[in-house]
Every structure is written in structure tokens, then in C-alpha cells.
Amino acid sequence: MTDDIFPEKETPQIYLITPTVVDLATFPDRLAGCLDSTDVACVRLSLASTDEDLIAKTADALRVVTHDRDVALVIDTHVMMVERLGLDGVHLTDAARTIKAVRKELGDDAIIGTHCYASRHNGMTACELSADYITFGPVGETSLGNSVKAELELFEWWSKMIEVPVVAEGALDTGLITNLSPHTDFFALGDEVWGSDDPQKALAGFAAAMI
């Protein structure tokens, strides 16, 4: 990740994931409220839909919100949409399998991150292939992903041995955030925030748990 988009900080930063379904009449304002109330380093557009028109309309709306606040906007999986939609990069979900090809496609300036589940090997390989960050997770109890938890020891090892930023993701709570904070660069929060009756309050609570 480039220093201008992701300045170094002693405490972890927030990486905010959109809901898989958003209401374009209301969600951009909800997102803006969260970005205005709590520091966020990056937003990931992560829609369940494969409708390219809907994805493009959503990306256009969120790009205005994020870029007006100097927050990076990446998209989940859809590599070919990054340049067309004026996004900052892509988040992959296949560990290290496609990073080399994606980097060739998007160039050196694009942010490319990838989810490596709980695999140290996948994470190291992704870094060797020029990933800007890697994600480990889930860190909490969930049936999402392959259900293999990324334990504290993995983050401890990574923070000591690897310079590439690491993101903790999946079923986070304030206790996990506090425990992982000394060893994690970013916390990826999605349903933990948007499932709340007050997303701004929920996000602020997670931020306060970071040490």
C-alpha cells in the first residue's frame, strides 16, 4: 500500500467493508457519516450481485464519498472494473493464485490485496508476488470462508517477521480487536458495523478497542 493512501500509524487502522446488498438511496450517506465520525483507511466494495450495471452505479456513488475524504476504495474480485470505474485497487479472495497476472494488468500503482485465510504459506507467497497487503481470517467464530480460524499466534509471527501489512477479518468483536491490536495493521469490519442499529456508534466502539 502506498504511503500517501495508508500513512504509517502506531495503532491499527480501519478497513471498512460494504454490505453485500446496499440501498443506493441511503447507503452513501450512511457511509459518509461513518467516514466523517471515525478515521477509516480504506473501503472495500463487496457486493453479492454480479450485475455489472449495479456494481458500476454503486462504485460511482461510493467513489464520490470516499475520494472526497481521501479514503481509498477497492473492489472485491472484479479486476477488470478497477480502471474503468476509477477505483484504487482490488481485493482478491484466492490467496496468491492470481496476484502476478493482476499486477501485470493493473500496474504498480494499484492496491492489490488478497485473502489468505489462515495460511502462513499463502501469505508469504502473496507477498513475494507483490501483494500490498494480505488478510487473515476469520478470527472469530463464523461459518464464513473455510471456517479455519486465524489464531493470535499467526498475527504475532507475521508482525515480527513480515513487513507487508496484515489485515484481521471475520467475526470481530472488541475483545478480539484489543488482543490483536499489537500485531495487526488493519481491522476489516463489515457486518459488525452495518448490522448495528447505529453504525457510527458501532464503528467508534471498535476504534476505541484498538490499542
What is the count of structural domains for the chain? 1
* 122 found inside a domain: yes
CB atoms within 10 A of CB 182: 14
pLDDT in tens, the chain (211 residues): 444 455 555 799 999 999 999 999 999 999 999 999 999 999 999 999 999 999 999 999 999 999 999 999 999 999 999 999 999 999 999 999 999 999 999 999 999 999 999 999 999 999 999 999 999 999 998 866 666 899 999 999 999 999 999 999 999 999 999 999 999 999 999 999 999 999 999 999 999 999 8
pLDDT at site 44 = 98
* 63 found inside a domain: yes
* 4 found inside a domain: no
Cell numbers that stand for 127 in this block: 507477498
Q: What angle do CA 66, 86, 65 make, to 5 degrees?
A: 15
SS3 89: strand
Q: Please list the alpha-helical segments (H only) found in 74-173.
A: 82-85, 99-106, 120-128, 152-161
pLDDT at site 148 = 86
CATH of the domain at 34: 3.20.20.70
* 5 found inside a domain: no
* 152 found inside a domain: yes
pLDDT at site 172 = 97
pLDDT at site 142 = 81
Domain range for 57 is 13-209
Q: What whole-number distance in Å separates Cα of residue 9 and Cα of residue 179?
A: 18
* 3 found inside a domain: no
pLDDT at site 3 = 46
Q: What angle do CA 196, 203, 74 make, to 5 degrees?
A: 100
* 99 found inside a domain: yes
pLDDT at site 1 = 42
* 185 found inside a domain: yes
In the beta sheet, which residues pair with residue 177? none
pLDDT at site 144 = 60
Q: What whole-number distance in Å separates Cα of residue 65 and Cα of residue 63?
A: 5
In sequence order, what DSSP letters do the residues of 19-66 get, joined into one string? -SS--TTTHHHHHHHHHHHS--SEEEE--S---HHHHHHHHHHHHHHH
